[in-house]
Structure 1
Amino acid sequence: MTYADAAFPLAILAKAPIPGQAKTRLIPQLGAEGAAELHRQLVWQTLETVVATTPPASITLWTSLAHPGSPEYAFFETCRERFGIRLCEQPTGDLGRRMYAALAAMPSPGLVIGSDCPVLTPDLLKRCHVALETVECVFLPAEDGGYALVGLRRANRQIFEGVDWGSARVMQQTREHIDALGWRCACPAVVWDIDRPEDLARWQAWHQDSI
């Protein structure tokens, strides 16, 4: 069986949609409740995309900041029941540690994504996984200097160490680690995510065009 034919592990990292803690850079425009609702919409849309990509049993939603009995925990439970995916709690630590944990938990090479990149499609995700057949790592760089997807043929902490998470240098610094390891890297596309007011306007226009 080739990578093109196989189901593969796919992990989504998602914060809990807590008002005041989700999509904080959009709170001045949407308000705390509105920003949290947008986050819920993006998580749901991401799940709709990934279940069209690989079987639900291969998908794990890694959550954070949600406590049993809270509305946010109930939201994630609804996601689990609706889509048939697994829930896991993200470990403590920076984004690199959390991505490494998701990759290290996979039984075979797979992908890790966030929940705020609406332009991901099943075809693009499958192409990223197929790339791992011939390279050690695959990334989808984002226009803001970060990235929206990482896939590794084997988990390696070094990829994620010493990275200034949240800065415009994330992908550049990660490439330096890739080069130091002597790994081959595929970047099938450059994408954008929703963090800033201009991203929200772009998404609204894109969403309207896609209807």
Structure 2
Amino acid sequence: MPRISITKRNTVEESVLFPENSDTRTTAHRNKVLVRRCRNTLALDGLAGVDLDLGSLTKKRRDYGASGTASKPFLIRLRAHHPQMHECQLVVFVKAPRAGFVKTRLAETVGTETALEAYLSLVEVLIGKLKDLPHVDLCFTPADALAEIKPWLQPGWTATPQCDGDLGARMQSAVENGLNTAQRVVVIGSDCPYLDSRDIGEAKAALEQHDLVLGPATDGGYWLIGMKAPQPEVFRGITWSSDSVLSDTLRIARENNLKISELRELPDVDTVADFIKFHEWHILYRAKADSGFHSESSAGD
């Protein structure tokens, strides 16, 4: 039976090898055989609703004899739109809440336990702002942290371990995985509690007309990156955790002729000074929440 596999951009790809001296002598007949086999397999895989698009059918012939029949195998590929494709996947990078593993820069000054408490506060605020959004994936590290991440999951959300490699490799992998099921992917970290669901909506909208969207951070990095097609070059050659992350990313994007949209600038929470500002902001945020006043406040409000 033919082999069906789900591939990037939520397509179904069919690979069929016709043997030597096949009796499928005409292209039309071969196509009919292929479509029939595809539909049978799609039905078995629970994908009977997939609309096979013959306009995307291509064939790769290796060698034909004088009679027109294949003297060697050739490959036919069929791509079809998958019904489960959604508009936008939000990926949130999180770490297991472990003392000594999170907010290490902050921990150098305030200690690992206080840094852990700060991290839990950051995640609590962020999850509270995003909890009503669909198609959210918590991309976590290390790989054995699922039990620790589960309490943060909201209805319909998913959790996926981060791959190996530096931050760029992990974000690139998250984007490529997200584009298997979504038209656009937006990635954020857990260091910026000041962002809100409106920022995610603006990023999603920006990707309708742009190749890349970035949320600049005040420390020279970015708190959000989004794209609608894999752009691996923007994750390469970057000195992560430096104040040149944003400028280097913009330079690489322009060198590759990408259309770029930038959102508002927001601060991360990495240092003691950042934490003090966040603590003051958080007091006001909780007071508004407790009083029933709903406001997705920005930094400095």
Q: Deviations over 1:142-192 (max 9, x none)?
A: 000000000012111101100000000000100111101101111120011
Instruction: Kindly report which structure 2 residues correspond to 1:181-196, keeping only aligned pairs within 5 A, or say none.
Output: 181-196=256-271
Residue 102 of structure 2: SS of its match in structure 1?
A: coil
Q: What's the TM-score once normalised by structure 1's chain length?
A: 0.88
Aligned to 1:200: 275
The partner residue of 1:94 within 151, 166, 170 is 166
Instruction: Kindly report which structure 2 residues correspond to 1:1-211, keeping only aligned pairs within 5 A, or say none.
Output: 8-52=88-132, 54-55=133-134, 58-65=135-142, 67=144, 73-80=146-153, 82-106=154-178, 107=181, 108-210=183-285, 211=287
Aligned to 1:3: none
Residue 26 of structure 1: SS of its match in structure 2?
A: helix
Q: Greater CA radius of gyration, 1 or 2?
A: 2
Aligned to 2:73: none
Residue 88 of structure 2: SS of its match in structure 1?
A: coil
Residue 208 of structure 1: SS of its match in structure 2?
A: helix
| The structure with more helix, counted as a fraction of residues | 1
Cα 1:9–1:73 shift into 2, 3 Å: closer
**Contact kept? 2:126, 2:190, Cα under 8 Å:** yes
Alignment length (residue pairs): 198
**Larger RCO (CA under 8 A, 6+ residues apart):** 1
**Contact kept? 2:216, 2:223, Cα under 8 Å:** yes
Aligned-partner residue type, residue 96 of structure 1: G
Task: Give, in angstroms, the shift of residue 134 of structure 1.
Answer: 0.8
Task: Give, in angstroms, the shift of residue 33 of structure 1.
Answer: 1.7
Extract unaligned runs of 5+ from structure 2.
1-85, 288-301
Extract unaligned runs of 5+ from structure 1.
1-5
* CA-based RMSD: 1.6
Percentage of matched positions with identical amino acids: 30
Off by >4 Å, runs of 4+ in structure 1: none
Q: What's the TM-score once normalised by structure 2's chain length?
A: 0.62
